[in-house]
C-alpha cells in the first residue's frame, strides 16, 4: 500500500508533466478527424455527381450501368482517382485537394502513432536507466537522439498541419479563406521550425569556471602524501589536480575546468580551505574518502558523459519553448526530461550513500557524521551572514564576510541543532544533488536527535588538513579579499534599485547611478530622471508612479498612459538617429529602476516584514 504523500506526488507529476505532454496529440488528432470528414464530404459529392452522370448516360447497357453504380457506391472517390488511368476523373484543383487530404491524414497518423511508439520506447529507457549508471547513460543517449529527431519531425509536421487547417477550416465550413490567417500561421510555424533547428545545431559553451588555486604536487607534498594514503584505502588513483578555494563544499569531477586562465582536464578534487579549518583530521579524512569513493565508483566518469547530453536536452527544450506553436512538443519532451531527473536523482542518492558508507569504513561513523554536521552548519551560517550583510541599505566600506563568519560561527553552531527543518538540509554541490542530512546521518548509523550530535558539532576543528597546504592562510586571505570586493561592488550596484528616496542619503545613492538625462529633439528638451519624464510639448511631467502602460506604436512613438491624465507621446522621429536608441534605453532603464524599487519597498520593506523574508 502506497503512502498518501506518494499518491500526491504522482498526482502532481501527472498534472504538471504527463497531462500537458498529451497535448502533442491535439493538432494531429484534430487534423485527422477534420480531413477524414472533409475527404468524406468530397467523396460523397463526387459519388453523387458520378452516379447522376451514369444514370443519365443512355449509351450504357443495364449491366454496365449496374456495375458502374456498384463501383462508385462501394469504393470511395478518393481511392478511385489513385488508380492508374483514373487521373482525369477529377479536375486538377480537385486532384490537388485530394492530395492535400491524403497527406494530411498520413501526417496526422504518423504523428499520433509515432508519439505512442516514442512514449513506449522512452518509458522503457527511463525504467531501464534505474538499474545502473552505465545503463542510465546508454538509455539517456538513445532517448536523446530519438527524442530530438522525433521532436523536430513533430514540429515540422504539426506546422504543416496547422497551415493546412488555417485554410481548410474557413474554406470548407465558411466557403471562404482568410489569407491573413494563413500568413500568420505560416510565419508562426516557420519561427518554431527555425527555433528548433537553431537549438539542435547551436554550439554550446560547456566551460565550467572554478574559483580557486591549483595545489601543485611539489608545492604541498604533505597534502598529496596524505591524499595518496586515502586513495589507497578507497582503492582508486589520486586525482590529477587539487583545487583549493573558499566555496562551502567539497566535490570531485572529471569535467574540464577553467581555473584562472588555464584549463584542466581529468580527475579534479576541489577542497574548501574555509571548511578544512573547521574540521579535525579524522573528519577531513572522512570527507576526502567520500570524495575519492566517487572516483572508485566511476561516478564522475558517468557524470562527465551524461552532463553534455543534459545540457543539449535542456537547450533543445528552450528552443521548443521559445518556438511558440511548438509548445505541445515542448511539454512532451519536458515530461521525459522530468522522468529522467527522477532517475538521475535516485542513482545520485545511491552514489552518495555508497560514498558515505566507504568513508565510514575508512574512518568511523562518528567522523563522517561530525563532518556532515559541521559542513552543513557552516554553509547555513555563511548564507545567513551574506544575507544579513547584503540587506544593509548603506554603502559598504568592506563586506567582511569571512570575519563575520569567524567571529560568530561557534555561537551559531551551539544553536544549530534547533534550526527548523534541519533534517531536510543538504550539502551544496555544483554538479550533483545530495540526500538530506537526516537520511545521511541515519545511513552512517547516527541520529540527529542524539545528544552526541550537538557534541560533535561543538567540537572545535584542529585544521590538520588545512595545515598540510603550504601557504594556506595566504591563499585563503587572498581569495576572501577578491570575493568580498566583488560582493561589495555588487551590493553597491543593487542599492539604487531599493530606494524610492526619502532621505538625502538615499537620494545621493540613486543619483550617483541614475543622474538626470537630457536629450534635445525637434520638439524641444526631453529630461529623464529617477522620478519620471519631462518633455517640452507636454503640459506637465509624467511621473513613473503614475504610468499604467508604455508602448511603441508603428509610427515610432512611445505612448504613455498615466493615471488620471491624458496619454503622452514621445515621437522618436523628432530626434537624431543617434539619439533615438538613447531615448528608448534611458526610458527603459530608469522606469525599470523605479519598478524594482517599488517592488522592493512593497514586499521586502513592507510593515511587519523581517530581514529573513
The pLDDT value given to residue 430: 65
The pLDDT value given to residue 565: 67
pLDDT single digits (tens) 98-131: 889 999 999 999 999 999 999 999 889 888 988 8
pLDDT single digits (tens) 35-49: 999 998 888 888 888
Residue 338: inside a domain, yes or no? no
584 and 446 within one domain = no
CA distance linking residue 482 with residue 485, whole number of Å: 5
pLDDT single digits (tens) 150-162: 999 999 999 999 9
226 and 111 within one domain = no
C-alpha distances out from residue 140 to 422, 430, 441, 487, Å: 34, 21, 31, 39
The pLDDT value given to residue 61: 83
The pLDDT value given to residue 587: 94
CA distance linking residue 377 with residue 413, whole number of Å: 7
Sequence-ordered list of residues with C-beta below 8 angstroms from that of 18, at least 6 positions apart, any chain: 335
pLDDT single digits (tens) 70-93: 888 888 878 888 888 776 777 888
The pLDDT value given to residue 610: 44
Percent of the chain past pLDDT 90, that is, above it, reads 54
198 or 230, greater pLDDT? 230
218 and 191 within one domain = no
The pLDDT value given to residue 11: 67
Chosen domain end from 181, 201, 221: 201
The mean per-residue pLDDT over the stretch 177-193 comes to 89
CA distance linking residue 494 with residue 600, whole number of Å: 11
CA distance linking residue 33 with residue 37, whole number of Å: 6
Range of the domain at 234: 213-296+364-491
> To 5 degrees, how large is the angle CA 183–CA 185–CA 191?
100
For the ranges 450-459, 506-515, 526-535, which has the lowest average pLDDT?
Answer: 450-459
Query: Of 545, 544, 537, 540, nearest to 586 (Cα)?
Result: 544
Residue 354: inside a domain, yes or no? no
Residue 530: inside a domain, yes or no? yes
243 and 288 within one domain = yes
Residue 342: inside a domain, yes or no? no
pLDDT single digits (tens) 566-575: 678 999 999 9
Query: Of 542, 538, 539, nearest to 529 (Cα)?
Result: 542
pTM, two decimals, is 0.81
pLDDT of 252 > 70? The answer is: yes
Confidence bin at 10 (pLDDT 50/70/90): low
Confidence bin at 201 (pLDDT 50/70/90): confident
Confidence bin at 95 (pLDDT 50/70/90): confident
144 and 251 within one domain = no
What CATH number should be reported for the domain holding residue 591? 2.30.29
pLDDT single digits (tens) 365-395: 999 999 999 999 999 999 999 999 999 999 9
Confidence bin at 29 (pLDDT 50/70/90): very high
49 and 82 within one domain = yes
Strand order in the sheet with 257-259: 208-209, 257-259, 262-264
Residue 332: inside a domain, yes or no? no
pLDDT of 62 > 70? The answer is: yes
User: Average per-residue pLDDT in the chain?
Assistant: 89
pLDDT of 472 > 80? The answer is: yes
Chosen domain end from 491, 520, 541: 491
The pLDDT value given to residue 432: 67
Strand order in the sheet with 568-571: 547-552, 557-562, 568-571
522 and 599 within one domain = yes
Number of neighbours of residue 211 by Cβ within 10 angstroms = 15
Query: Of 343, 387, 368, 358, nearest to 125 (Cα)?
Result: 343
Chosen domain end from 428, 463, 491: 491
406 and 290 within one domain = yes
Task: For residue 585, give the H/E element and its range.
Answer: helix 577-603
pLDDT of 4 > 70? The answer is: no
The pLDDT value given to residue 518: 94
134 and 60 within one domain = yes
Residue 368: inside a domain, yes or no? yes
237 and 88 within one domain = no
Residue pair 328/31 in contact by the 8 Å Cβ criterion: no
Domain count, the chain: 3
For the ranges 126-135, 196-205, 440-449, 602-611, which has the lowest average pLDDT?
Answer: 602-611
Residue pair 173/341 in contact by the 8 Å Cβ criterion: no
The pLDDT value given to residue 60: 82
Residue 414: inside a domain, yes or no? yes
The pLDDT value given to residue 341: 87
The mean per-residue pLDDT over the stretch 463-492 comes to 95
554 and 510 within one domain = yes
Distance in angstroms between the alpha carbons of the first and the last residue of the chain: 39
Residue 208: inside a domain, yes or no? no
CA distance linking residue 524 with residue 545, whole number of Å: 24
Contacts 24+ apart (CB under 8 A), 596-599: 596/497, 596/498, 597/496, 597/497, 597/498, 597/499, 597/500, 598/500, 598/545
DSSP 423: G
The pLDDT value given to residue 488: 95
pLDDT single digits (tens) 319-358: 999 888 889 999 999 998 888 888 888 898 999 999 999 9
pLDDT of 207 > 70? The answer is: yes
391 and 267 within one domain = yes
pLDDT of 312 > 70? The answer is: yes
Amino acid at each position: 500500500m502506497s503512502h498518501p504523500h506518494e499518491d500526491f506526488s504522482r498526482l502532481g507529476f501527472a498534472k504538471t508533466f504527463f497531462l500537458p505532454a498529451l497535448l502533442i496529440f491535439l493538432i494531429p488528432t484534430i487534423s485527422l478527424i477534420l480531413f477524414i470528414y472533409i475527404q468524406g464530404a468530397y467523396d460523397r459529392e463526387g459519388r453523387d455527381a458520378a452516379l447522376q452522370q451514369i444514370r443519365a448516360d443512355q449509351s450504357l447497357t443495364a449491366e454496365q450501368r449496374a456495375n458502374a453504380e456498384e463501383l462508385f457506391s462501394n469504393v470511395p472517390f478518393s481511392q478511385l482517382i489513385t488508380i492508374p488511368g483514373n487521373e482525369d476523373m477529377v479536375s486538377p484543383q480537385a486532384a490537388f485537394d485530394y492530395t492535400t487530404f491524403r497527406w494530411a491524414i498520413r501526417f496526422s497518423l504518423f504523428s499520433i502513432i509515432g508519439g505512442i511508439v516514442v512514449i513506449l520506447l522512452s518509458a522503457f529507457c527511463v525504467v531501464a536507466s534505474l538499474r545502473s549508471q552505465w545503463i542510465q547513460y546508454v538509455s539517456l543517449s538513445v532517448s536523446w537522439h530519438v527524442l530530438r529527431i522525433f521532436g523536430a519531425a513533430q514540429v515540422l509536421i504539426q506546422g504543416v498541419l496547422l497551415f493546412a487547417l488555417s485554410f481548410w477550416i474557413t474554406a470548407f465550413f465558411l466557403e471562404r479563406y482568410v489569407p491573413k490567417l494563413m500568413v500568420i500561421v505560416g510565419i508562426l510555424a516557420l519561427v518554431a521550425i527555425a527555433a528548433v533547428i537553431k537549438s539542435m545545431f547551436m554550439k554550446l559553451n560547456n566551460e565550467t569556471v572554478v574559483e580557486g588555486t591549483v595545489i601543485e604536487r611539489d608545492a604541498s607534498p604533505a597534502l598529496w602524501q596524505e591524499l595518496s594514503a586515502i586513495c589507497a584505502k578507497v582503492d582508486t588513483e589520486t586525482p590529477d589536480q587539487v583545487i583549493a578555494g573558499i566555496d562551502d563544499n567539497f566535490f570531485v569531477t572529471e569535467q574540464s575546468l577553467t581555473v584562472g586562465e588555464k584549463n584542466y582536464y581529468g580527475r579534479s578534487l576541489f577542497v574548501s580551505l574555509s571548511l578544512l579549518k573547521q574540521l579535525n583530521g579524522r573528519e577531513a579524512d572522512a570527507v576526502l574518502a567520500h570524495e575519492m569513493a566517487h572516483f572508485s565508483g566511476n561516478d564522475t566518469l558517468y557524470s562527465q558523459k551524461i552532463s553534455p547530453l543534459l545540457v543539449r536536452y535542456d537547450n533543445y527544450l528552450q528552443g521548443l519553448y521559445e518556438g511558440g506553436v511548438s509548445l505541445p512538443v515542448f511539454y512532451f519532451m519536458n515530461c521525459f526530461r522530468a522522468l529522467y531527473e527522477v532517475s538521475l536523482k535516485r542513482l545520485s542518492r545511491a552514489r552518495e550513500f555508497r560514498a558515505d558508507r566507504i568513508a565510514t569504513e575508512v574512518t568511523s561513523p562518528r567522523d563522517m557524521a561530525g563532518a556532515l554536521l559541521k559542513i552543513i552548519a557552516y554553509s547555513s551560517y555563511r548564507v545567513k551572514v551574506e544575507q544579513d550583510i547584503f540587506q544593509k541599505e548603506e554603502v559598504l566600506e568592506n563586506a567582511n564576510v569571512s570575519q563575520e563568519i569567524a567571529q560568530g560561527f561557534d555561537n551559531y553552531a551551539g544553536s544549530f541543532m534547533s534550526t527548523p527543518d534541519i533534517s531536510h538540509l543538504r550539502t551544496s554541490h555544483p554538479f550533483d544533488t545530495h540526500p538530506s542530512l537526516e537520511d545521511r546521518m541515519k545511513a552512517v548509523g547516527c541520529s540527529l536527535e542524539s545528544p552526541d550530535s550537538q557534541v560533535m558539532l561543538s567540537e572545535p576543528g584542529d585544521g590538520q588538513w588545512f595545515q598540510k597546504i603550504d601557504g594556506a592562510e595566504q591563499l585563503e586571505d587572498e581569495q576572501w579579499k577578491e570575493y568580498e570586493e566583488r560582493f561589495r561592488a555588487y551590493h553597491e550596484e543593487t542599492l539604487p534599485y531599493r530606494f524610492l528616496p526619502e532621505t538625502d542619503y538615499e537620494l545621493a545613492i540613486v543619483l550617483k547611478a541614475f543622474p538626470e538625462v537630457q536629450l534635445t529633439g525637434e520638439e524641444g528638451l526631453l529630461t529623464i530622471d529617477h522620478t519620471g519624464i519631462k518633455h517640452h510639448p507636454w503640459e506637465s511631467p509624467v511621473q513613473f508612479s503614475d504610468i499604467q502602460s508604455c508602448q511603441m506604436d508603428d509610427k515610432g512613438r512611445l505612448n504613455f498612459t498615466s493615471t488620471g491624465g491624458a496619454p503622452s507621446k514621445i515621437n522618436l522621429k523628432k530626434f537624431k538617429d543617434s539619439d533615438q536608441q538613447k531615448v528608448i534605453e534611458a526610458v527603459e532603464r530608469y522606469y525599470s529602476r523605479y519598478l524594482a524599487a517599488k517592488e522592493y519597498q512593497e514586499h521586502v520593506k513592507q510593515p511587519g516584514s523581517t530581514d529573513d523574508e
